Structure 1
Amino acid sequence: MNNESLVIYIIAVLCLGAVLIMSKDRMPQRFKRGMALTAVIMIALAFVFIIYSLLA
């Protein structure tokens, strides 16, 4: 796996999570659940990629 792409993905996902946490009060109610679920899945996938890159 390309480590440079992995680092860029992890930084982007963590920034997305931070933006969602900081803007949760201004977001319409109908988007909150979907965006939070998407962010959780992407962050979990980033940690799986980190573990995979350490073991590979």
Structure 2
Amino acid sequence: MNTENLTIYTIVVLCLGAVLIMSRDRVPQRLKRGMALTAAIMIFLAFVFIIYSFLA
């Protein structure tokens, strides 16, 4: 697995999660759940990819 792409993906996903947490008051109510779910899935996948890269 290409670790450079994994590193970039992980940094971007963690920044997205931080931005969503910091701006939770400004997001319209109907978008909050979808954005939070998308961010949670992406963060989970980032950690799965990190573990996979250690094992591969």
User: Sequence identity of aligned pairs in percent?
Assistant: 80
Gaps of 5+ in 2: none
The number of residue pairs the alignment matches comes to: 56
The alignment's TM-score, normalised by the length of structure 1, stands at: 0.99
**RMSD over aligned Cα atoms:** 0.3
Runs (4+) off by over 6 Å: none
The alignment's TM-score, normalised by the length of structure 2, stands at: 0.99
Per-residue Cα deviation, 1:3-56 (whole angstroms, up to 9, x for no partner):
000000000000000000000001000000000000000000000000000001
Gaps of 5+ in 1: none
